[in-house]
Amino acid sequence: MAETLQDLLNKVDEREGELVDLLTTLIAFETPAPPARNTSEAQAFIGRHLEASGFSTETWDIYPGDPNVVGVRKGRRSDGFRSLILNGHVDVAEVSPDEPWETGPFQPIVRDGVVIGRGAADMKGGLAGALFAVRLLHESGLELRGDVTFESVIGEEVGEAGTLQCCNKGYTADLAVVVDTSDLHMKGQGGVITGWVTVKSARTYHDGTRRQMIHAGGGLHAASAIEKMTKVMGGLRDLEQHWAVTKSYPGCPLGSTTINPAVIEGGRHAAFIADECRLWITVHFYPNETHEEITREIEAHIAAVAAADPWLRENPPTFVWGGKSMIVDRGEIFPSLEVDPGHPGVQLLASHHLGVTGTRPEMDVSSSVTDGGWFGAAGIPAVIYGPGELRQAHSVNEQVSIEQLKTFTKVLLGFIHDWSNTPR
């Protein structure tokens, strides 16, 4: 007798042990970033799993030792039915040597209804559930008329944007589901961009000239770049406070648009007046804003601050925004993502969540960032939906609920089937 979709949902419970084993296998691959360059074996495992589930795969290095793996399962009537991208990152948060893990971060523990290990919540739980769902669908023989693309990417933890590389290669779909940590909420996200602000003197001075810079009649029009950077920091703080009272977005706590002065570097040594100072900032913005808009606003505000200072007017601050890697060039961009609650795929996903759990999913905005924004930037509708609580992400003894993992797998399994069989 042919299997039904309900039979498959029941199999998630019946084969719980296989799902848990899949997650513990993924956790055991040591893929922290930093240091990164360590995902090849994990990605090869995922590639084999996808091929055994009816996908053709493509693998290419983003960095040596860090490849993307993309699997495509062509639908039987691709031209007339909806397509889907399932997306997740295989890298996990870094681990410090002195963290008090119960065993080890890559020696997973299964007990009391949870799986413990680095990446359990962020986000190898989501990857395991998605991989298990496509395996069950393949084994069932149930027809999928639309294309399903599975992207296992690298670099999310350090802004290396493996997902952007998939978009650049032309992978697209009618909807993308990013199976990252969301506690089974359906989420959009604000965006993040880092930037370097530099204050630099055209000339270098001995520290013995300081009296001539700061006292009346000294006659030396010069300044310490470090001290002038404090004016820039004050201007950034004023702008941050202005945003807090003038900007808002549904589902985001007020004041979520922040400018964090994260790192400051400057000066040569004690015998010099500091001729250069660099400030590394992290800027969070709302889902309906772009990083281009935000950086223009910051630069215009700081230009006005500099114009009011005699020395900064002649030595204006300069800006370098974003970057391709927090490891390589100390910079990153995460575009924002607005979710359209009326999109038919979003509505269908919500209905499958309701069908499995008995309650409608919460639709809100992540307080963190994921690769989901790259889909929005590429014009691909997307939503973040995955197992795991954000408070567990990056934590010591990180864990995910097995019951929630099964719920996620059931919801995704039913959704993949019905979406790929939805006519365009």
Where in the sequence numbering do the catalytic residues fall?
91, 156
From the CB of residue 267, how many other CB atoms can be counted at a distance below 10 Å? 14
Residue 274 has what DSSP assignment? -
Q: Please say whether the beta carbons of 290 and 335 come within 8 A.
A: yes
What CA–CA distance (Å, rounded) separates 52 from 26?
17
Q: Please say whether the beta carbons of 24 and 110 come within 8 A.
A: yes
Compute the chain's Rg from CA coordinates: 25
β-strand partners of 93: 33
CB proximity list for 238: less than 8 A, separation 6 or greater: 301
β-strand partners of 382: 176
Q: Please say whether the beta carbons of 239 and 301 come within 8 A.
A: yes
Please report, as a single letter, which amino acid is at residue 17: G
β-strand partners of 72: 56, 149
Give 21: exposed, middle or buried? Use CB within 10 Å, 0-12, 13-18, 19+: middle
Could you tell me whether strands 191-200 and 333-334 are parallel, antiparallel, or unpaired per DSSP bridges?
A: antiparallel
300 closest CA partner among 277, 284, 317? 317
**DSSP letters spanning 176-211:** EEE--S-TT-EEEE-EEEEEEEEEE-SS--BGGGHH
What CA–CA distance (Å, rounded) separates 138 from 135?
5
Beta strands in 159-290 (DSSP E): 175-178, 186-189, 191-200, 259-266, 276-285
